[in-house]
Amino acid sequence: MIVNTKLSHLAVAVKDIEPAREFFEMITGNSSSNPHLVKSQKVNTSFISIGDTHIELLEPSEEITPISKFLESKGGGIHHLCIETDEFDSLINKIKNKNIRTLGEPSIGAKGKRVIFFHPKDTFGILIELEEK
Ligand code: CO
């Protein structure tokens, strides 16, 4: 089976999205998308292209969210990397068969596509998001 995957985005957790947009716009030379609320994950997101991938900025949209906990303990930084695949369901089954835990069930992510997260303790310390192409 040939699975087409690519790096969809690298997500960075930020306390305040506006200065982060300004910085990443400056460093990439590209403009960022207007902040968009993802209710399911309680974050405001903005995407900036870099090459053929993106940086996703994540700002907590409420006081208590998974991102605010991450910001409190780590002060910011790379939060997750997202892999886009055209074999979303079969890849999830394959990964689950390896006893890699998921964080909940698939939900609708920032781009309106189905996404699922895997437990970082089962994926070498990095939170991985899988996104349906
Ligand atoms: Co993401």
pLDDT tens digits for range 14-70: 999 999 999 999 999 999 999 999 888 899 999 999 999 999 999 999 999 989 999
State residue 109's pLDDT score.
Answer: 85
Using 50, 70 and 90 to split pLDDT, how confident is the model at 2? low
Q: How far does residue 41's CA lie from ligand 1's centre (Å)?
A: 10
**Residue 18, CB half-sphere, CA atoms under 13 Å: how many?**
0
> Each residue of 121-131: pLDDT tens digit?
999 999 999 99
d(CA 45, CA 51) in angstroms, rounded, equals: 19
Give CA separation, 93 vs 18, 90, 101, in Å.
38, 5, 11
Residue 22: other Cβ atoms inside 10 A? 11
Domains of the chain, CATH where assigned? 5-132 (3.10.180.10)
Q: How far does residue 56's CA lie from ligand 1's centre (Å)?
A: 6
Dihedral angle, C-alpha 83, 85, 88, 93, nearest 10 ° = -70
Enumerate residues with CB within 5 Å of ligand 1 (an ion): 11, 56, 82, 129
Q: How far does residue 62's CA lie from ligand 1's centre (Å)?
A: 18
